Amino acid sequence: MALRVALIGYGTGGAFFHAPLIEAVPDLTLAAVVTGNPERQQAARTRHPDTTIIPTPDRLWDDADAYDLAVITAPNRHHLPLARAALDAGLPVVIDKPVAVTADQARGIADLAAERGLAAIPYHNRRWDGDFRTLRRLIADGALGHVQRLESRFERWRPTVKPGWKESADPADAGSILYDLGSHLIDQAIALFGRPTRVYAELDIRRPGALTHDDAFVALHHPGGTRTHLWMSATAADLGPRFRALGDRASYVTHGMDGQEDALRAGRTPLDENWGLTPPSQYGHLGTPGDTRPVPTEPGGYQDFYIATAQALRGEAPPPVTMADAITGLEVIEAAFRSADSVDLVDLEGE
């Protein structure tokens, strides 16, 4: 029997980055959508006619036994209270990134999940980008040798501020680009090279009328000597390489973004033919100066996160992303804020 999923939130994240992926997994069924917005309720009814529409999370907790998983994709400030309420109601949770505003809040979620014997799984879908999967394989295969430095970018040209909570200066909203795009880049660096030991950051507000960071650079020192240099920007009038991985044997360089986000926004789903495939013209290149070759990009597969989540809930596999990694990511973000304030390197405390 398929696991019954209740999706909390039906904005851009819920409608495009969760619902289509859940429905693409045979072992899951989108049993409920929780939203109080009338327009979003109607959109959910139209797209998912067999799904129950629930107006408030409280109604969901009252009927928690009817579901097997709660997926939280509300604005950042609501992640903590919704996750705690779901766990208290006996429901395992998937929590969109960042799982909380602070590392301490994330630790509280992890502790409560452990106390209840339930799963709490961070949603870091960018581990299933095709270019990232390819880079991860090349590193594992030794094609690059020892990676000395990885440059990784999520850059956009959006010079006009778009109103919304992501532009809020209230720390409780976690609206900084460091929480938004940075959460992805930091998580990918952690997945590849482990917990960093030192953090340096530059955070800026560039656009007229902007209230929170829209242009940032973060440098991480990892055990073994690898450094990751991460750029995130809404003000990039020229887009740099997506990945530039420099090893002592070879480099791997890619340009452009994984196509799954645009495909989801356009209404396509993983059930469509050729999902997640990158055209040969956009393959990354492996090699050394004057001697490079294109490397076919691994298929992207955001749906694989939910396949692995279903397996984890059934006790067949570990969770696809751990709370420990999410906590480390938030510790890096907090260290980045301290570094930017002090214009100095910050040692990352703890393990």
CATH, residue 148: 3.30.360.10
Q: Are residues 209 and 223 in the same domain?
A: yes
Exposure class string for 72-105: b at 16+ Cβ within 10 A, else e: bbbbbbbbbebbbbbbebebbbbbbbbbbbbbeb
DSSP code per residue over 78-114: GHHHHHHHHHHTT--EEEESSSSSSHHHHHHHHHHHH
Residue 319 lies in a domain: no
CB-count exposure of residue 309 (10 Å: 0-12, 13-18, 19+) = buried
Can you tell me the distance from the alpha carbon of 295 to that of 283, in angstroms, rounded to the nearest whole number? Answer: 6
This prediction's pTM: 0.95
Average pLDDT over residues 90-114: 98
Domain that holds residue 156: 129-301+331-347
> Where does residue 293 rank: exposed (0-12), middle (13-18), buried (19+ CB within 10 A)?
exposed
Length of the chain: 351
CATH number assigned to the domain comprising residue 18: 3.40.50.720
Measured CA to CA, the distance from residue 194 to residue 44 in angstroms comes to 39
SS3 state of residue 14: helix
- DSSP bridge partners of 29: 4
How far is the C-alpha of 253 from the C-alpha of 265, rounded, in Å?
26
Please check the confidence at residue 351 and state whether its pLDDT lies above 70. Answer: no
Shared-domain flag, residues 136 and 224? yes
pLDDT digits (tens, 9 = 90+) for 245-282: 999 999 999 999 999 999 999 999 999 999 999 999 99
Q: Provide the number of structural domains found in the chain.
A: 2
The mean predicted confidence, pLDDT, of the chain is: 96
Domain annotation covers residue 56: yes
Claim to verify: residue 98 and residue 138 sit in the same structural domain = no
Range scoring the smallest mean pLDDT among 82-91, 147-156, 170-179: 170-179
Residue 27 has pLDDT above 70, yes or no: yes
> Is residue 307 assigned to a domain?
no
Distance CA(13)–CA(18), nearest Å, equals 6
Contact 92, 68 (CB under 8 A): yes
Q: What's the CA gap between 223 and 230, in Å, rounded? A: 17
123, 142, 172 - which closes a domain: 123
Residues 104-150 pLDDT 10s? 999 999 999 999 999 999 999 999 999 999 999 999 999 999 999 99
Element (H, E) at 26: none
